[in-house]
Amino acid sequence: MSNVVIDMTMSLEGYVAGPNDGKAYPLGQHGGMAIFDWYTSGTEQVQTPLFRPAPGANRDEVDAMFADSGAFIFGRRTYDITDGWGGRHPVNGVPVFVLTHNPPQNFPKGPSNLTFVTDGIASAIEQARGAANGKDIKLGGASPGKQALAVGLCDEINVHVAPYLLGGGVRLFDELPEGIRLEKLHVSDGPLATHIRYKVLRT
């Protein structure tokens, strides 16, 4: 059965994008793109030109991302900023489910088969489960992750902590309704990122 996993890169103080993220600054101002330097700190391309991780922990994380991801769930803001990835998400072109109150009339067609979900995170996860073929359902962007945590539908959190301070922007773990206990499953360190995976413990 698919695990539901928050898989996000963030700055040391917990921001996944800097201030004023949008089309002009996809990862916000204050140098938001720097938190993803670990993707490109090596020389050998992996899968697509976007990924050139250094050998070792960074390469292992990218390899696992491609191997384990069966579907992604994003919020409408991420969809808009990326222009729907042109219909093909960079990780294997896997199915993508977008949470929104107002589905767009026109959207890019491609192998990711973009699906717009208007009835909440639980429905998005259920639909993604049907498309993931037993692989992980990845929650991308801060909003889907927080929504899944709030209703007890997140199984694991995989964070890639960059040695960078954004000083503001979009936080990954604010506005949760209660404290949530975690169990550390794995930690590894590579150039420009420390990778930490947790199990979410449910009461």
Write the CATH number for 126. 3.40.430.10
Share of the chain above pLDDT 90, in %: 90
63-106 pLDDT per residue, tens: 999 999 999 999 999 999 999 999 999 999 999 999 999 999 99
What DSSP string describes 161-194?
EES----SSEESS-S-SS---EEEEEEEEETTEE
Distance from C-alpha of 193 to C-alpha of 161, rounded to nearest angstrom: 5
pLDDT of residue 175: 84
Helix (H, G, I), strand (E, B) or coil at 32: helix
Cα of 128 vs its chain's centroid, Å: 14
Do 32 and 169 contact (CB within 8 A), yes or no? yes
Taking the model in full, what pTM does it have?
0.94
Structural domains of the chain, count: 1
**78: domain range?**
4-200
Mean pLDDT calculated for residue range 159-172: 96
Mean pLDDT calculated for residue range 137-149: 95
